[in-house]
Structure 1
């Protein structure tokens, strides 16, 4: 090797060959200074709640806080109202094969990736991009998606509160046709001989695993043979005429539904009270909100399987249809379901992991939460279809004529089935309490993502004003949600849902995976993980992060794009201006990526290539936030550098 090449190596690695040992002395001095700072920091820990090791941000108070928060965040409404229908439609028990495959290839690797680097850095989705500042826009994209979804996700909680209120009476209002909102088209399924062979009326469909949905009424020709007039079930008339009071289209939003506005205010008040102290308050709440849905599911399951016809419903749900596995649609649906249900690329997992103590076993948590999420989806299907089997037995209407998904299941079909049970208000109250708790947990993760992102970016301004800042954000989100509680609000909600996260989440997640696996490097990332949990995971995760998972995400994105069509609501077609607004919402979370990259490049000095090289590398202050762990981190960097120094010094 000639001297010219050696000089190039010296410049690239910034190594002083005049004295190979002088660098080691400098590093040791740096470590001593860091250790001194660590001691000073430890002496101030008494100011925080007992057990906190992060003076700046605090930590989860209990051992199970993080695990329960992740379970509550990942197990969302889609597990209850989307997966059961998708499983039945896509081959029953056979659907579990592609579902589990994509869980292993995409869901678990991405879950492990996000909570690992979130825990390692103790930073929110924006500040965490010290790992590669050129891609800081990915963090802003996550925050924007969570912010938009927070607006309309709380509308679903609003509907749940409204149904819960109406469940607190002796006779459920959607069980009869003698209410002021009922029309002459109203009927009780199974009571009219002429209607026993009719199918389900127009209902809403929420085509999503978590919150990415498609709401559309599906008219299906329920016709009275005598009058030739379309009939509508009592439960659907309650939904359309009383809850929504829906207008003809987005051009006519009508007036604000004051009852829903009050419920929306209640929902945001609950969110504020649970998150006003950050993870210190939400960490306690999740012990109830994350476990209560399982208690209700077990109770509803026990009640469901004891009903006549339940066995037929469960058989209808799980009977394998192996030929379905030969269709591309089934594999695409399984991939999309996994991607949205586990909660990647929303920023919530990174945020919650950032409040972990540094040595928390994130590897164990990354295995537990996706498996619980998957199991919950399957179990929820048993609960739903056992009751639908009972309704089919009672009414004589085939299960495939009443089964649906989304709000059509949660606010039309299932309430109709519950109304036929003895002591029906009790089961309705339990069901809507469960939906409320499930929605609340997911909302916690998304909302905390927004507030923590800004607090971490502007700590001097917001760190000591987080309660006030949380109240401010709740108010802003409340105001943005008001158009969704007008009479035509569901048309607005449909646009927000249809476009805001359909394709952007995949691109955010793909960028995140590629940057960490190929730019930061899996070898360095494995050393970071070892620093936290004491050992390096098996090679499988490296292979996934570098090859399998990016390819899988690309497949999911292509499938989603090919399935994307202009937004509709039943037979109603949106005007072009509304569609343009939808695309603007969809692009809002992607635009920060190039914008932030360009701004970062312009702020740097040097040639374009030098600027980019500097920005793709992690910053000098990247690493553990707590100084005592930063000492260990710097030591690993020193050990790695010493190996290289030894070789280069010998060559010199």
Structure 2
């Protein structure tokens, strides 16, 4: 590392004066972080460059952690497991979220750059593992931005193209494929994704999606090489505006009929579901995904803070803000879904009413089934309740001619995965007054949320690579362009006709298994290799007080045990062959389809590829390992037999390249 090279190459007294001088300047001067593309090497321990303000730092952290995971993944899992998931998620959020976020913020704030090598020399390649996880996350994360751009473009049409089936230009007859499904389903699967029936059938690249991906990566690359002031202005907009839009949607949906049905489903809890291993696995991994743990972003962003910043307070603010954002997004989604269900049930009741009247007039049905005259003015559940008061024979006779119009069925229709946003939610927006305006606002919000997270991921990859490979410190512009080019090429995989299935594959393996594995490894490294008590004491020395709720027992035993239990739940859920949800054009329905063997091998290979740098660093580290000294201790001379003196001389002679860890630790101790 650049800092270690300077410190180890100078006499001890000169090193001490230099460190004290840098520390004084850091405590008295404030300014924005050094631009990522600046050729000047910036060390985050001694540099005067810190966040321009605490507000800018917190906004950046929120923009990084609060993204589409809160408005897509979280509501989708709530839809799948109902209120039981909400309970398990909140429970794990406090057990795991608070201590893990605190741990990562404290790591970045106290160790600055090259965190893992300072914890243990064999862990120097952990940063590369984190950068690989972040890279794989961003390449499938950006496909949501591409889809949202396509929907935003179509939102300017009137009427909205997902509200009615397209017609043949010659005959003006609606497309038969659309009439067999619904306009929103056909627009999503047929006109946006052009989806195939299975993951094996690639179908080639969808040109519109590929062009939108190119626009996204160009934008991210250009932004990543801008100065911090420009990034700060963009972040203020991209973080604040989505919350304003969400509150507008929440108020609007509350004023509409049926929102209460969606909110009831959100909090509906089944005690038996708490014994499902897959529930706890999904809840735990969603906590990690929502908070951004395990991919290095929290560590990188906090490494620009001053050493005496209250990282415990920052952790609580971030955790509660993230939880509030998820709950707000879930309320918006479920209240809008409730409105959609009430609207479609109302239309179903209206059609059933007139059909029953016609059948009674034709004497196909007896007069006893005459619906109430004021049925259309009653609540939407009134029709189903009226049917239930008949005896079984008469009720079955009625249901042979008309549907039962259940709200519960409409609440779960077309809500699988991304379809929750691009089918169910858009279908509901189409029923809003001024639907075009609301559609434009909604997709602008999605693009804003996703871009703020993607910008944080891009910056994280760049800084992690520079920390892992010090010779890249002067190549920030090259790194940004390289990440943009490689990211675009790899993300083209998701622009294929089968791209949605590959997104599910990456989300099942990278967004869950790999992320959870990395967090488990980080927890072991800090709590057991470096030492939880030592870590907490050093954090206390930096902040000037002890955070009693963050006891070393929590990091050493509680979080580790819970993460292991979550992994056990994952293993228990593997009793059946992993499946993905595929669209069947023959039946026009979704079906659970087993992953082919090559897809599972691909997912497992990606996890092995991600963890490979860390495993190689642990097993193949050839140099003698000198553990870092505690911050408040001073280096002691080594008393070793003469046989080992050559090894010490070799280390001393190469200090210009690798740095003396003892001298660095002594200098850091004086800084504290």
Task: Answer whether TM exceeds 0.5 for this pair.
Answer: yes
- After TM superposition, give the deviation of residue 418 of structure 1 in Å: 0.5
Aligned to 2:451: 440
Q: Deviations over 1:499-532 (max 9, x none)?
A: 2343222222112112211221223212321233
Show structure 2 runs of 5+ residues with no match: 1-10, 35-43, 346-404, 583-590, 627-642, 652-657
CA distance in 1, matches of 2:226, 2:664: 23
2:613 and 2:491 map into 1 onto residues whose CA distance is: 24
The one of 238, 253, 260 equivalent to 1:289 is 238
Alignment of 1:594 with 2:615, yes or no, is yes
**Residues 441 and 239 of structure 1: CA distance in aligned 2, closer, same or farther (over 3 Å):** same
Partner of residue 381 from structure 1, selected from 309, 315, 330: 330
Tell me how far 1:498 sits from its aligned partner: 2.8
* Structure 1 residue 102: Cα displacement: 1.2
Instruction: Report the equivalent of 1:458.
Output: 469
Asked whether the 8 Å contact 2:277–2:570 carries over to 1, the reply is no
Find the counterpart in structure 2 of residue 34 from structure 1: 16
2:578 corresponds in structure 1 to 566
Alignment of 1:634-645 (within 5 A): 634=670
| Counterpart check, 1:522 vs 2:532 | yes
Q: What secondary structure, in the 3-state scheme, does the structure 1 residue paired with 2:309 have?
A: coil
C-alpha change, 1:295 and 1:134, in structure 2 (3 Å) is: same
The 2-side partners of 1:563 and 1:444 are apart by 34
Deviations 1:273-293 (A, max 9, x none): 332147554333221111111
Q: Secondary structure at the match of 1:443?
A: helix
SS in 2 for 1:401: helix
TM-score by length of 1: 0.77
Counterpart check, 1:72 vs 2:63: yes
CA distance in 2 between counterparts of 1:172 and 1:624 reads 63
Give the alignment partner of residue 576 of structure 1, picking from 597, 600, 603. 597
Instruction: State the partner residue of 2:107.
Output: 117
Alignment of 1:268 onto 2:217: yes
- In structure 2, the CA distance between the partners of 1:143 and 1:478, relative to structure 1 (3 Å rule), is same
User: Would the aligned equivalents of 1:118 and 1:128 in 2 still touch at CA under 8 Å?
Assistant: no
Structure 2 match to 1:475: 485
- Asked if 1:493 corresponds to 2:503, the answer is yes
Q: 1:415 & 1:91 partners in 2: Cα distance?
A: 21
Answering whether residue 196 of structure 2 is matched by residue 175 of structure 1, we say: no
Alignment partners' CA distance in 2, 1:333 and 1:248: 26
The range that moved more, 500-509 or 168-177, is 500-509
CA distance in 2, matches of 1:51, 1:344: 22
CA distance in 2, matches of 1:632, 1:241: 60
* 1:107 and 1:342 in contact (8 A); partners too: yes
Query: Following the alignment from structure 1 to structure 2, what is the Cα–Cα distance between the partners of residues 543 and 601?
Result: 33
- Secondary structure of 1:464's partner? coil
Measure how far apart 1:133 and its partner are: 1.8
Name the CA shift for 1:458/1:45 in 2 (closer, same or farther; >3 Å): farther
**1:401 alignment counterpart:** 410
How far apart, CA to CA, are the structure 2 residues paired with 1:312 and 1:43? Answer: 58
Post-superposition shift, 1:96?
A: 4.1
Cα deviation code 1:93-134 (max 9, x no counterpart): x6544323212211111110011011112215xx54321122
- Consecutive unaligned residues of structure 1, counting only runs of 5 or more, are 1-28, 188-230, 637-652
Asked whether 1:504 is paired with 2:514, we answer yes
SS at match of 2:551: helix
Which position in structure 1 is the counterpart of 2:5? none
CA distance in 1, matches of 2:548, 2:340: 49
Whether the 8 Å contact between 1:31 and 1:634 is mirrored in structure 2 is: no
Task: State how far apart, in whole Å, the 2-side matches of 1:307 and 1:553 are.
Answer: 42
When residues 98 and 40 of structure 1 are mapped into structure 2, their CA distance, relative to the original with a 3 A threshold, is closer
Q: 1:260 to 1:177 in 2, by over 3 A?
A: same
Structure number, greater radius of gyration: 2
Partner of 1:334: 283
Contact preservation (8 Å) 1:61, 1:283: no
Aligned residue number for residue 390 of structure 2: none
Of 114, 130, 148 in structure 1, the residue corresponding to residue 118 of structure 2 is 130
For residues 434 and 336 of structure 2, the distance between their equivalents in structure 1, rounded to whole angstroms, comes to: 15
The CA distance in 1 between the partners of 2:620 and 2:74, in whole Å, is: 42
Equivalent residue, structure 1, for 2:553: 543
Partner of 2:368: none
Question: How far apart in 1 are the matches of 2:48 and 2:192?
Answer: 42
1:206 is aligned to: none
Deviations 1:192-226 (A, max 9, x none): xxxxxxxxxxxxxxxxxxxxxxxxxxxxxxxxxxx
Contact kept? 2:152, 2:440, Cα under 8 Å? yes
Q: Match of 1:140?
A: 128
Residues 352-391 of structure 1: pairs in structure 2 closer than 5 A:
352-391=301-340
CA distance in 2, matches of 1:68, 1:294: 12
Which stretch of the first structure deviates more once superposed, 32-41 or 544-553? 32-41
**SS of the residue 1:175 aligns to:** coil
Contact 1:151 1:480 in 2 (8 A): yes
Give distance in 1, aligned partners of 2:110 and 2:314.
14
Q: Match for 1:108 among 98, 106, 113?
A: 98
Q: Are 1:115 and 1:366, in contact at CA under 8 Å, matched by a contact in 2?
A: yes
Deviations 1:602-635 (A, max 9, x none): 677999xx99xx9xxx99549999xxxx857337
Distance 2:539 2:601 in 1: 44
Give the secondary-structure state (helix, strand or coil) at the position aligned to 1:236.
Answer: helix
Distance 1:337 1:468 in 2: 33
1:32-62 deviation per Cα after TM superposition (whole angstroms, max 9, x unaligned) = 7413454378779999956888666943233
Measured in 2, the distance between the counterparts of 1:577 and 1:100 equals: 36
Partner of 1:16: none
Q: Tell me the distance in 1 between the aligned counterparts of 2:462 and 2:436.
A: 38
Map 1:211-360 → 2, pairs under 5 A = 231-277=180-226, 281-322=230-271, 324-325=273-274, 327-360=276-309
**Residue pair 1:172, 1:425 contacting (<8 A) in 2 also:** yes
Aligned counterpart, 1:633 = 669
Structure 1 contact 59–355 (Cα < 8 Å) conserved: yes
> What's the secondary structure of 1:504's corresponding residue?
helix
Question: In the alignment, is the contact (CA less than 8 A) between 2:76 and 2:420 conserved in 1?
Answer: no
Instruction: Give the distance between the partners of 2:340 and 2:25, measured in 1 at CA.
Output: 64
For residue 305 of structure 1, report the CA deviation from its aligned partner: 0.4
How does 1:184-199 map onto structure 2 within 5 Å?
184-187=176-179
CA 1:316–1:287: 2 relative to 1, 3 Å: same
- Larger CA deviation: 343-352 vs 534-543: 534-543
- Contact 1:349–1:445 (CA<8 Å) still a contact in 2? no
Find the residue that maps to 1:503 and give its secondary structure. helix
What residue number does 1:449 align with? Answer: 460
CA distance in 2, matches of 1:331, 1:351: 29
Rate the CA distance shift 1:494–1:54 in 2: closer, same or farther, 3 A: same
